[in-house]
Amino acid sequence: MKNNIESIIKYLKGSNDDFIVTSHISPDGDNIGSTLAMYYTLNKLGKNVYHVLDDNPPQNLKFLVENMNILKSEEVNLDSYNIIALDCGDKNRMCISQKLIDNAKKIICIDHHASNDYYGDFNYIDTEASSTCELVYNLLIEYEKKENINIIDEDIATCLYTGLVTDTGNFVYSNTHPSSFEMAKELLSKGAKKDTIIQKVFQSNPYNYYKLLGEALNTLDVVDGKIASITITKEMLKRNVISFNDVDGITPYTRDIEGVEVGILLKEKKENEVKISLRSKNYVDVSKIAKSFNGGGHIRAAGCTIYSSIEDAKKKIVEAVVKAIQGDKNE
Amino acid sequence: MKNNIESIIKYLKGSNDDFIVTSHISPDGDNIGSTLAMYYTLNKLGKNVYHVLDDNPPQNLKFLVENMNILKSEEVNLDSYNIIALDCGDKNRMCISQKLIDNAKKIICIDHHASNDYYGDFNYIDTEASSTCELVYNLLIEYEKKENINIIDEDIATCLYTGLVTDTGNFVYSNTHPSSFEMAKELLSKGAKKDTIIQKVFQSNPYNYYKLLGEALNTLDVVDGKIASITITKEMLKRNVISFNDVDGITPYTRDIEGVEVGILLKEKKENEVKISLRSKNYVDVSKIAKSFNGGGHIRAAGCTIYSSIEDAKKKIVEAVVKAIQGDKNE
């Protein structure tokens, strides 16, 4: 079913079933934020709601879930339930068991990924939106108007603000629209704990992180002046006691160099498994490159995994980027 | 004279004299942005206006002044003129000659520094404002309403957006208010070239900058878990061919560490002259510390110069910060 925000509100209002809220694997700020915001909302609306996630939030987002009871799929035993899948572009990337997905009464999909094929029974997809949190915000504003109630409180505002700033690189990326600032203004007025979010998300790196960053900058490699890469091996992570999920903040360093169009961060997860983050500045669609390696994402920020040695993965991804730069420049 | 936005508009409208727009020494994004915005505005209003600045903008702001004719004080030969001093907390820190200051018919001061003593004949000072650009924005919106004209075009919006993002650390600092987001929304709608600003200001560091950053991170020193410092010597700058004015972006690294309250960047300008940038996270008023060394600034971001060796300067400033942390915690 195509977009219908009205029918989602109607269904949420009318349903007496339980709800599971979840998002995609390797959770980031936008999906933790949007999932929690929906959790708090459904709770407020008097529904039974469960936050299910078979993965752990990264360290810098733990402040959001401190008092939450997040369940693993095997802990869930429900008869009749709906799933609200947030920020999850692909039905198979939902961070819950296949069994839970298969037995859901209805799936409500709220997302902004270009790759989304409207897999929900209800969908609210907008690929132009800054973040899934912006879509949840729109939904809640609409709900508030329609039912003449207040939903967005300090907690919900804080969750939504977190997703907005993590998915826009704190208002840096080109997905930042006037509507994003309108939302930021309103959330701040409604008590979003901006300073806490900024400190926890962006300003609380452990001292070791900077030691790792120093090492990582030593690997900075620029090809043709347009492509820059940084390589982080599992030995570097181990040596500096930094976990694999906690170094994504290094990705922008690869792109933020004068003249560079595409930045690449290569992170070795284990032997022959390299996670790759891609960023572009002006004209290269990195989601296409990621897709060619079975990954996904957005035009200016995408990711994929290459199953080979880190040297080989670097060779392959740089080759693909070189080709893309030539192609996208000629388009 | 205390604040009177009405009388500034009236004076700007009525005056047939020439105008000099200027800002403080060591210009940053907020003063280049606010000065240029006033320049464009006065031009639009049919006034003769001169941008006078006895200093050079930093490399990452040159895109704003590419087509501007910025004059040095000695090139100016005017009979009757007013000065608009933007983002300049102290009459003596204006970046023009004393002679020009002394002979001005009227001084109009638009500023947000806490240290401002209302030295203008007309003043629009708001120490709560995110930036002087936000004050110029308010003035122009008021002017537009009063006179029923359009002033803010793409160029002006771009200048004002630059000051807003540089003075709020791109909406990070606690001086970011709902009104800042309202302004950002409006400027983006009016054509502010956000993506260009972001790229030029934050994402166009030369490759060498990252080599320097790597070296700088090696000097990262944490005292008591609460104070972190980075030291940049003139040899480091020389070795990496990076100019003294182009490394201020390294300051936040000192503050963005888990548990750290005050970050210190020490930059050696020449022998026995060390420029110090201070940042705090939650409770230390660094403007007080800076003031005790004859510097100034804001509660969470301030600066000063210590005339001694870099080792000695570090010792002195760390001592002052330790004292301030003890004091401010007990207050």
More confident residue, A26 or B293: B293
| Same domain for A163 and A16 | yes
- Two structure tokens written together for B221: 């020193």
3-class SS letters over B218-252 = HCCEEECCCEEEEEECHHHHHHCCCCHHHCHHHHH
Note down the domain range covering A138. Answer: 5-201
CB–CB contact A253 B195 (8 Å): no
Q: Inform me whether the pLDDT recorded for B1 exceeds 70.
A: no
CB–CB contact A255 B220 (8 Å): no
CB–CB contact B207 A257 (8 Å): yes
Smallest Cβ–Cβ distance between A281 and the set B171, B203, B207 belongs to B203
CB–CB contact B222 A213 (8 Å): no
Smallest Cβ–Cβ distance between B189 and the set A178, A188, A281 belongs to A178
| Closest-CA distance of chain A to residue B21, Å | 30
Give the strands of the sheet with B107-111, arranged side by side: B49-51, B18-22, B81-86, B107-111, B122-125
In angstroms, the CA A107 to CA A92 distance is 13
| Same domain for B255 and B180 | no
B176 neighbourhood in chain A, CB within 8 Å: 188, 194
Q: Are strands B273-280 and B296-297 parallel, antiparallel or unpaired?
A: unpaired
Check if the beta carbon of residue A118 is closer than 8 Å to that of residue A2.
yes
CB–CB contact A256 B203 (8 Å): yes
CB–CB contact B188 A178 (8 Å): yes
pLDDT, average across residues B94-113: 96
Residue B252's CATH number: 3.10.310.30
| Same domain for A130 and A47 | yes
| Same domain for A280 and A178 | no
| Same domain for B288 and B190 | no
pLDDT for residue B165: 97
Domain end point (choices A139, A171, A201)? A201
Count of C-beta atoms within a 10 Å radius of residue A244? 16
In angstroms, the CA A52 to CA A75 distance is 9
H or E element in which residue B268 lies: strand B262-270
B-chain residue closest to A200, CA distance: B258
| Same domain for B120 and B41 | yes
Residue A41's CATH number: 3.90.1640.10
Going by C-alpha positions, the residue among B281, B279, B277, B276 that lies closest to residue B259 is B281
B-chain residue closest to A186, CA distance: B178
Tally of domains in chain B: 2
| Same domain for B44 and B110 | yes
* A330 CB-near residues (< 8 Å, 6+ apart): none
Compute the count of residue pairs across chains A and B with CB atoms less than 8 Å apart.
Answer: 101
pLDDT for residue B160: 98
Going by C-alpha positions, the residue among A36, A88, A89, A83 that lies closest to residue A64 is A36
A222 neighbourhood in chain B, CB within 8 Å: 207
In the predicted model, residues of chain A with pLDDT beneath 50 are: 331
Smallest Cβ–Cβ distance between B178 and the set A185, A255, A281 belongs to A185
3-class SS letters over chain A = CCECHHHHHHHHHHCCCEEEEECECCCCHHHHHHHHHHHHHHHHCCCCEEEECCCCCCHHHHHHHCCCCCECHHHCCCCCEEEEEECCCCHHHECCCHHHHHCCCCEEEEECCCCCCCCCCEEEECCCCCCHHHHHHHHHHHHHHHHCCCCCCHHHHHHHHHHHHHHCCCCCCCCCCHHHHHHHHHHHHCCCCHHHHHHHHHCCECHHHHHHHHHHHHCCEEECCCEEEEEECHHHHHHCCCCHHHCHHHHHHHHCECCCCEEEEEEEEECCEEEEEEEECCCCCHHHHHHHCCCEECCCEEEEEECCCHHHHHHHHHHHHHHHHHHHHHC
B217 neighbourhood in chain A, CB within 8 Å: 210-211, 213-214, 217
CB–CB contact B181 A178 (8 Å): no
| Same domain for B182 and B149 | yes
pLDDT for residue A2: 73
Beta bridge partner(s), residue A165: none
H or E element in which residue B107 lies: strand B107-111
Angle at B140 between CA B138 and CA B143, to 5 degrees: 110
pLDDT for residue A329: 56
Going by C-alpha positions, the residue among A79, A130, A129, A88 that lies closest to residue A109 is A88
* Cα–Cα distances in angstroms (integers) from residue B228 to residues A192, B180, B210, in the given order: 28, 29, 20
Task: Tell me the ipTM for this assembly.
Answer: 0.85
Domain end point (choices A158, A176, A201)? A201
| Same domain for A311 and A171 | no
In angstroms, the CA B93 to CA B307 distance is 18
**What SS3 state is found at B76?**
coil
Domain end point (choices A171, A201, A231)? A201
What is the tens place of the pLDDT at every residue in B167-211?
Answer: 999 999 889 999 999 999 999 999 999 999 999 998 888 899 998
In angstroms, the CA B321 to CA B331 distance is 15
What is the tens place of the pLDDT at every residue in B141-175?
Answer: 999 999 999 999 999 999 999 999 999 999 998 89
CB–CB contact B184 A177 (8 Å): no
Q: Inform me whether the pLDDT recorded for B330 exceeds 70.
A: no
A-chain residue closest to B173, CA distance: A195
| Same domain for A192 and A56 | yes
A174 neighbourhood in chain B, CB within 8 Å: 194-195
| Same domain for B212 and B193 | no
Structure confidence at residue B2 as a pLDDT band (50, 70, 90): confident
| Same domain for B322 and B254 | yes
What is the tens place of the pLDDT at every residue in B221-253?
Answer: 999 999 999 999 999 999 999 989 888 889 989
